[in-house]
Structure 1
Amino acid sequence: MLGEKLFSDKRLSHNNTHSCSSCHDIGTNGASANVSDTPDGQPLVLNTPTVFNASLNFRLNWEGNIRSLEQGAEHSLHNPAIMASSPNEVVDKMRTDPEMVKQFRDAYGKEPDAASVLDAIASYERSLVTPNSRFDRWLTGEADAITPAELSGYHMFKSLGCVACHQGVNVGGNMFQRHGVFHPLGSPAPELLRVPSLRNVATTPPYFHDGSAPTLAEAVKAMGIAQLDRVLTDQQIAVIVAFLNTLTGNYRDRAVRPFAATPGTSIVRP
């Protein structure tokens, strides 16, 4: 697929050092294998969200300032902290590659241009959905797809009010919310965030916009305090985490999996 090739092509970056997959590892959780870096080697300010199921979100990025996958691709190309490039620069590079020109002609009936580059990347990203989680199967009537403890966690998730923000087909991703409603939650900026999807959440540490929670249990505890003004018990946290583990889906018939950080590195943002 043309879009898949572009997604992994480092020529999308100005210095030919970064591709989309440099930060969004499709082989693992659709996010970063370690701390994502800018082209000049500095850590990104915000935690990298997974690209899996991004097409199901009503807005993109933590700030929710991107309205479409095409706009997201263009924003990433222009962003000096990501690609430091532009669609036109990418087009110029693609037009020097006879094989890529052929693939664009086959797909679009013309040589590469800015619109087709962005469309190809966005079309591929729309394919990055991860259905058939155990919770999905339970919802379709497979009663034994989740355990009694996981079901208890689902009921706890609802009764505590977590579903006020994390609901819908993507278990989130469809509204804005202020973080730190009752108590601080990570770094203060940006104050208003797009609620993240919880699909595959067990595979995507670290958590929050600043990556300040290294484990899912710590994230659940912090959310209880900051957003609900409740100190959850260890048992409450355990069953909610058990439920969240049922939200891991499949991509290309393989379960989404967490990455393994390179030894000696940290996955927590400074």
Structure 2
Amino acid sequence: MRPLIGFRGAGPGAGYRGGVIAICAVLLCCVEVTPAPSQSPPPVVMDRGEPITPIPSAPALDPLKVALGEKLFSDRRISHDNSHSCQYCHDVSTNGASQKPHDTGLDGAELALNSLTVFNSTLSFRFSWEGKFRTVEADINASLESPRIMASSAAEIAAKLDADLDMRGRFMAAYGRRPESDDVVDALASFQRTLLTPGGRFDRWLQGDDAALSPDELDGYRLFKSLGCSACHQGVNVGGNLYERHGIFHPLASPEPKILRVPSLRNVATTPPYFHDGSAPTLDDAVRKMAMAQLNATLTDQQAKALVAFLGSLTGTYRGAPVGGSP
């Protein structure tokens, strides 16, 4: 699923502050996030007094449930017709989303909104572009039951898996019983909570490594703050904790939905195309369009370059490798 209101993946309603709130409003497509009880506490880091905090390590969860959830994540039996898995739209071997402006539903037609990345999604205060769901479990259930996405249900999936002796054994090991609907959702949620990407260069800088960022990246971060982007894109997920309206001064991407949850900018350099409709093919294009739409400002080439450089430093690692294969 992705950012910049759209970046994959907006705003007088949240406090305008002279228009600066804007690039944050969708730039990087902004209610304060409260970490879920299952999340690890943030690491002890050098206090630079910055509005962004490092990604924590993945929480310590039952490894059998996490492994089962990972297996289900790529199992096509979670769709009614056995054709789609979560991995279809959220490829955790690359960017946690896909490279398409719009993924396709079970009927072969394009889905309405660009897929947001699943990486770090559990650090946000709501789920989906419109923030309709408060918990990862609610988000999973909605996807399973959506006629366009999986057209199934946790109960239907549990029945399918119970007929598979191997999967029955995995559920017995993890939950002490044969597959049940709540366990299907819990296993998927357990895996999703481990999809955190710490260790990015910007996080290393926050933790005191002054050599982690280049001069261009540092300039971009200063500009990110001075323009007001960090008013909406802050906290552990560099976003994900506010709602905003897009197209304040000029139209930006598709007009609907008007109000969107500001997406996280974590790993944003790996998740093109951008915006909720996937209409910006590159990060440079997205940054420039957001500045105009949200700030009524035209970025210079140097400003756009610096912002893009900074955003590239937000790419973290998953299982020891950079997300999306980026440097």
TM-score above 0.5: yes
User: Partners in 1 of 2:149 and 2:98 — Cα distance?
Assistant: 13
In structure 1, the partner of 2:71 is: 5
Structure 2, unaligned runs of 5 or more? 1-66
The 8 Å contact of residues 204 and 258 in structure 1, kept in 2 or not, is answered as no
1:62 equivalent to 2:129? Answer yes
In structure 2, the partner of 1:249 is: 316
When the two chains are superposed, the root-mean-square deviation of aligned CA atoms in Å is 1.0
The 8 Å contact of residues 95 and 271 in structure 2, kept in 1 or not, is answered as yes
Structure 1 residue 33: deviation in Å? 4.2
In structure 2, the partner of 1:263 is: none
User: Partners in 2 of 1:109 and 1:178 — Cα distance?
Assistant: 47
Structure 1 residue 245: deviation in Å? 0.4
CA-to-aligned-CA distance 1:199-231 (integer Å, 9 cap, x gap) = 000000000100010000000001101111211
SS at match of 1:193: strand
2:80 to 4, 8, 14: 14
CA-to-aligned-CA distance 1:84-109 (integer Å, 9 cap, x gap) = 11111101101101111111111111
CA-to-aligned-CA distance 1:139-184 (integer Å, 9 cap, x gap) = 0000010001110000000000111111100000011011111111
Tell me how many residue pairs correspond in the alignment.
259
User: Partners in 2 of 1:46 and 1:145 — Cα distance?
Assistant: 35
Identity of aligned residues (%): 58
In structure 1, the partner of 2:138 is: 71
The 8 Å contact of residues 220 and 241 in structure 1, kept in 2 or not, is answered as yes
The 4+ residue runs of structure 1 with deviation greater than 3 A are none
2:225 to 145, 154, 158: 158
The normalised TM-score by structure 2 is 0.78
Instruction: Select the structure with the greater relative contact order (CA < 8 A; seq sep ≥ 6).
Output: 2
Cα 1:8–1:215, aligned 2, differ >3 Å: closer, same or farther?
Answer: same
The one-letter code of the counterpart of 1:253 is G
Structure 1 residue 41: deviation in Å? 1.0
In structure 2, the partner of 1:267 is: none
1:220 to 280, 287, 290: 287
Structure 1, unaligned runs of 5 or more? 260-270
User: Partners in 2 of 1:251 and 1:128 — Cα distance?
Assistant: 7
The 8 Å contact of residues 99 and 272 in structure 2, kept in 1 or not, is answered as no
User: Where do residues 33-52 of structure 1 align in structure 2 (5 Å cutoff)?
Assistant: 33-34=99-100, 35-52=102-119
User: Partners in 2 of 1:30 and 1:69 — Cα distance?
Assistant: 15
Structure 1 residue 36: deviation in Å? 1.2
Structure 1 residue 13: deviation in Å? 0.3
The one-letter code of the counterpart of 2:255 is P
Structure 1 residue 70: deviation in Å? 0.7
1:24 equivalent to 2:93? Answer no
User: Partners in 1 of 2:98 and 2:314 — Cα distance?
Assistant: 19
